[in-house]
Amino acid sequence: MRRLPTVSDVAEAAGVSRQTVSNVLNTPEIVRAETTERVRAAIERLGYRPHASARRLRTRRSSTIGVRLDPGADGMSGSLLDRFLHALVERADADGLRVLLYTAVDEDAEIATFERLLDGADVDALVLTSTHYGDRRIPWLVEHDVRFVTFGRPWGEHDTTDRSHRWVDVDGRVGVRAATASLLEQGHRRIAFLGWPEGSGTGDDRRAGWREAMLAAGVPDADMTALDLGVEEDPLDLGIGGRAVAAVAPRPDAVVCASDSLALGARLALGPDVPVVGYDDTPVARALGFPSVAQPLDEVAAAVLELLASDEGDHHRLLAPRLVRR
Amino acid sequence: MRRLPTVSDVAEAAGVSRQTVSNVLNTPEIVRAETTERVRAAIERLGYRPHASARRLRTRRSSTIGVRLDPGADGMSGSLLDRFLHALVERADADGLRVLLYTAVDEDAEIATFERLLDGADVDALVLTSTHYGDRRIPWLVEHDVRFVTFGRPWGEHDTTDRSHRWVDVDGRVGVRAATASLLEQGHRRIAFLGWPEGSGTGDDRRAGWREAMLAAGVPDADMTALDLGVEEDPLDLGIGGRAVAAVAPRPDAVVCASDSLALGARLALGPDVPVVGYDDTPVARALGFPSVAQPLDEVAAAVLELLASDEGDHHRLLAPRLVRR
């Protein structure tokens, strides 16, 4: 790979010691003018430039943020994290920060990667995605005094009180509540919720938004049970949600979904006459023309970098999503 | 951000000079045993670790590959580059290489970014995607003696002869020829090609595969003109391909497409009775159950890293795609 000129090359070209080159660069006031000139000429001639690594070595800071490239990127909702990554890289670049990617097959591997990246000062902060109940990465980072922000809540008791965990999230409950309310306004009443099995923070939060809107519209709790559908998503079987919703009798008037891939399944199973609303506003929602709840990923990226940069103010941000009507 | 212990911290803790710490780390044979022991104890106590930046500074190598995060990632085909990036990060990690992301709004901005990244030795090699006719990035990199590999051919006269441009690509012509042949085997004859306007290397290559298969099946050149459709894709208007194909009279028997988003448009316009074949095997093709040409992205990533690492052998690799039948 490409070899850049070193301090030794400059020293040799100028006929001085490496220490003298270093003095010219760092403490020119102690070097004789004639020597300084000779060293500067060699620097110019060789195209030597004080090195980012030298700067990092002095400051012990890399100005680099580590971000895991999520293995789920192959699915439709995976594109959400790719779009977040894009917004983050653009904003970080404007702030003079770099984004270094890593992958990890599980939490243990990810924690081992943290150690490696931090020990080498390859990164000095981390941005985590795909947080979940009992996420072991969080206590590890807190214990090791690592600067980090998660896109996603801790999903625990201390969501908003534990200042050691900085996070940015989008209020899925509010988004799904708005989506359900828009279907209720259109006169639909038997509105199914097609989400994931209970137990995921994100999924339960979105389900709560549906329940709240239905209760507010006077739908009895008992009527909701048959309309509350949780399926394990499978990127290789996008029909799974459609089969679940097609099995509901009598057929729902409309379906509000925890993801666009679930909404696609519902749309394909029920046809275009049953309104569906998706989540994440992916190209699929635009292609098939169904409404979807959009996460404000630019705002999320900006908030993540703000929380990384400053100890002032709130340690978390819960941003509002937007229902894209179609 | 996190501050790691420095050589100065170790020197202070051990009551020696920074030079002595450096000697213990680099030339321990010249240091007295007792001093070495004191310095090592301080290193252990403070958790000091010789720094990745120090290693980089010595070697002038960062073991980091720069990759542009493509602005097209929001569309359906954009997910292809995200999947390639994922394969690349995983394979690079196994080789001890890191991937640093950057963004750029246009070629000038990207070339300015190259200068910045290379001057600071933040990266020592680049992987480029989205190559095209007259790509100005390539001559710049060649002229500046930068190590790089493109995912995508130069799309010029010297594709396979110019050894200064290393590239990996997938043979789209072969993929679309196989897709068209599979439709011909099923007895279809009026097979439309839905692609992009003439002038893009990738698009014209895929179109050539359709033409070859049709000619081989004895379809006269004149019959092909009305079936050869080129539209400007628009991520906000995925119906554009569907409208083009619906306007063909008499209606085509089948449609082979240059992308899955074009195939989706054709499927929505013509209904499930007219077979369509897509390209890139995205989640949309899986969801709607139409066949698609899959690019072997793991193989592409492996070949990119091989070409980056070695000067031996071919300077390019043209890999075969695979028709995923459904």
Of the candidates A4, A73, A239, the beta carbon closest to that of B82 is on A73
**Cβ within 8 Å, pair A2-B125:** yes
Handedness of CA A264, A75, B244, A292 (dihedral sign): positive
Asked if the C-beta of B235 comes within 8 angstroms of chain A's C-beta atoms, the answer is yes
Kindly provide the b/e burial profile for residues B261-281, where b requires at least 16 CB atoms within 10 angstroms of the residue's own CB.
Answer: bbbbbbbbbbeeebbbbbbbb
* B7 neighbors B21 (Cβ within 8 angstroms): yes
What pLDDT sits at residue B148?
Answer: 94
If you average pLDDT over residues B58-86, what whole number do you get?
Answer: 71
B120 Cα distance to chain centroid = 24
* Rounded-to-integer distance, Cα A67 and Cα A88, Å: 10
* Rounded-to-integer distance, Cα A122 and Cα A145, Å: 16
**DSSP structure string for B2-61:** -----HHHHHHHHTS-HHHHHHHHH-GGGS-HHHHHHHHHHHHHHT----HHHHHHHHT-
What is the DSSP code (8-state) at residue A153? Answer: -
Element (H, E) at A319: strand A316-319
178-207 in chain B: CB under 8 A from chain A: none
* Rounded-to-integer distance, Cα B130 and Cα B132, Å: 6
The token pair that represents B265 in the structure block: 């448009």
Which domains occur in chain B, in start order? Answer: 7-50 (1.10.260.40), 64-169+297-317 (3.40.50.2300), 173-294 (3.40.50.2300)
Asked if the C-beta of A83 comes within 8 angstroms of chain B's C-beta atoms, the answer is yes
If you average pLDDT over residues B60-75, what whole number do you get?
Answer: 70
Q: What are phi and psi of A50, to 5 degrees?
A: -55, 135
Asked if the C-beta of A93 comes within 8 angstroms of chain B's C-beta atoms, the answer is yes
What pLDDT sits at residue A31?
Answer: 86
The pLDDT-based confidence of B1 (bands split at 50, 70, 90) is very low
* Rounded-to-integer distance, Cα A71 and Cα A40, Å: 49
* Rounded-to-integer distance, Cα A114 and Cα A53, Å: 20
| Cβ neighbours of residue A103 closer than 8 Å, sequence gap 6 or more | A68, A69, A71, B86, B89, B90, B93
Asked if the C-beta of A298 comes within 8 angstroms of chain B's C-beta atoms, the answer is no
48-77 in chain A: CB under 8 A from chain B: 49, 51-54, 56-57, 60-62, 64, 69, 71, 73-76
What pLDDT sits at residue B39?
Answer: 92
Asked if the C-beta of A125 comes within 8 angstroms of chain B's C-beta atoms, the answer is yes
* Rounded-to-integer distance, Cα A71 and Cα A82, Å: 11
* Rounded-to-integer distance, Cα B249 and Cα A106, Å: 54
Query: Is the pLDDT reported for residue B159 higher than 80?
Result: no
**Cβ within 8 Å, pair B101-A102:** no
Which whole-number Å values give the CA distances from A125 to A61, A97, A167, A233, B1, in the listed order?
10, 10, 13, 32, 7
- Ranges of residues in chain A with a pLDDT under 70 are 1-4, 49-62, 71-78, 157-158, 235-236
**Cβ within 8 Å, pair B86-A98:** no
Of the candidates B6, B146, B283, the beta carbon closest to that of A238 is on B283
Length of chain A (residues) = 326
Q: Which of B6, B17, B49, B60 to mutate to test the interface with A (most CBs of A within 10 A)?
A: B60
If you average pLDDT over residues B153-178, what whole number do you get?
Answer: 87
The pLDDT-based confidence of B86 (bands split at 50, 70, 90) is confident
**Cβ within 8 Å, pair A89-B103:** yes
**Cβ within 8 Å, pair A54-B53:** yes
Higher pLDDT, B73 or B145: B145
Q: Chain A partners of B1 at a C-beta cutoff of 8 Å?
A: 61, 124-125, 147, 308
What pLDDT sits at residue B28?
Answer: 77
Q: Chain A partners of B75 at a C-beta cutoff of 8 Å?
A: 283
* Rounded-to-integer distance, Cα B307 and Cα B313, Å: 9
Q: Which of A1, A17, A26 to mutate to test the interface with B (most CBs of B within 10 A)?
A: A1
Q: Is A228 helix (H, G, I), strand (E, B) or coil?
A: strand
> What is the per-residue pLDDT across B15-57, written as a single tens digit (0 to 9) for each?
998 888 878 877 777 889 899 999 999 988 887 766 555 555 4
Higher pLDDT, B313 or B99: B99
What pLDDT sits at residue A73?
Answer: 46
Query: Is the pLDDT reported for residue B213 higher than 90?
Result: yes
